[in-house]
Amino acid sequence: MVKVIAIANQKGGVGKTTTAVNLAACLASLERKVLLIDSDPQGNATSGFGFDKRDIKQCIYDAIISDVPMQDVIKHTAYKGLDLVPATIQLAGAEIELVSLMNREGRLKNSLERVKHNYDYVIIDCPPSLGLLTINGLTAASSVMIPIQCEFYALEGVTMLMNTIQLVQRNLNPALKLEGVLMTMYDSRTNLSQDVVNEVQKYFKTKMYQTIIPRNVRLSEAPSHGQPVIDYDSKSKGAQVYMDFAREVIEDE
Ligand code: ADP
Ligand code: MG
């Protein structure tokens, strides 16, 4: 059974894209078939795999707005078993254009229907908002993964995110589950990071992943080389920890 995981948090810069790109690459290296969907007009997951956005003729926009079959938009990456649905800045218009379309919340779900069974995991990198693109991600997903940055105000906005998830469960996708909460950018030199982990633990209890992603400079360098960290520096802490995380995600199979 394919698992469709939406990576969502309306805060920017919490590690959604870093997690989407590196989890996808690590799952593929563990011989899973993975489709990564870039659903952020910034297209950071797309460039994170070395694609030049200027060369992309059709992106997720065409699939969800213009009914182009998803199959025609999918690109193979340099990784065996890992495909990508790219995003370009064109997607920025989708948030407004979706409003007046039929089935505006379910368009990604529909366009995925034909292709998702070719994969073990579909990972959706959501944009930093709770608008219609994120709602489309949550409607298409079987579960939602929430990255939370280890910083002051970490839980700010989480109530609003949880309310949105509940609304989607009630009205659009009753089967949607909370996959888990991933703490990111942990800094072992500060007490603050541990305090934040403890606080988030109180809120989410058993839904927290064991794996905690530390701050690691290789993770922030890898995207400018168009590579996931396991390619850019396979011996780095960042590479090891995202491999651990992928193994933890797989434990659920
Ligand atoms: P989001 O997709 O939630 O906006 P990103 O994944 O793009 O967040 O991360 C924001 C910035 O932080 C990026 O520059 C990224 O390279 C960097 N970053 C993310 N995770 C880490 C980490 N664990 N260690 C160091 N830098 C990180
Ligand atoms: Mg992002």
Q: Quick one: which H or E segment has residue 3?
A: strand 3-7
| Sheet strand arrangement including 34-38 | 75-76, 82-85, 34-38, 121-125, 3-7, 143-149, 177-184
For ligand 1, atom 4, the nearest C-alpha belongs to 13
Q: What gap in Å lies between CA 181 and CA 200, rounded to an integer?
A: 9
Selection from 20, 3, 14, 4 nearest residue 245 by Cα: 20
Which residues lie closer than 8 Å to 36 by C-beta, 6 or more apart? 20, 21, 24, 45, 49, 77, 82, 83, 84, 85, 122, 123, 125
- Render the burial of 153-172: b for 16+ CB within 10 Å, e for the rest: ebeeebeebeebbeebbeeb
Cα angle value 151/44/92 (rounded, 5°): 105
- pLDDT, tens only, 53-83: 999 999 999 999 999 999 999 999 999 999 9
- Give the type of residue at 251: E
- pLDDT, tens only, 103-116: 999 999 999 999 99
Specify the pairing of strand 143-149 against strand 121-125: unpaired
Q: Quick one: which H or E segment has residue 197?
A: helix 191-204
Query: Is 17 a pocket residue for ligand 1 (Cβ < 6 Å)?
Result: yes
Query: Is 216 a pocket residue for ligand 1 (Cβ < 6 Å)?
Result: yes
| pLDDT band at residue 100 using 50, 70 and 90 as cut-offs | very high
- pLDDT, tens only, 114-123: 999 999 999 9
The widest CA-to-CA distance across the chain, in whole angstroms, is 51
Query: Is 18 a pocket residue for ligand 1 (Cβ < 6 Å)?
Result: yes
- pLDDT, tens only, 27-55: 999 999 999 999 999 999 999 999 999 99
Q: What gap in Å lies between CA 168 and CA 46, rounded to an integer?
A: 27
| pLDDT band at residue 253 using 50, 70 and 90 as cut-offs | confident
Note the pTM of the prediction, 2 decimals: 0.98
152, pLDDT greater than 90: no
252, pLDDT greater than 90: no
- Asked whether this complex has an ipTM greater than 0.95, the answer is yes
Q: What gap in Å lies between CA 185 and CA 214, rounded to an integer?
A: 5
Name the phi and psi angles at 182, rounded to 5: -115, 120
Kindly tell me the sign of the dihedral angle through the C-alpha atoms of 54, 55, 57, 60. negative
Question: Going from the N-terminus, what domains does the chain have, and what CATH number goes with each?
Answer: 3-250 (3.40.50.300)
| pLDDT (0 to 100) of residue 3 | 98
Q: What gap in Å lies between CA 50 and CA 52, rounded to an integer?
A: 6
Query: Is 16 a pocket residue for ligand 1 (Cβ < 6 Å)?
Result: yes
- Give the type of residue at 12: G
State both tokens at 72: 């025609």
Distances in Å between the alpha carbon of 250 and those of 29, 86, 168? 12, 25, 25
For ligand 1, atom 1, the nearest C-alpha belongs to 13
For ligand 1, atom 13, the nearest C-alpha belongs to 220
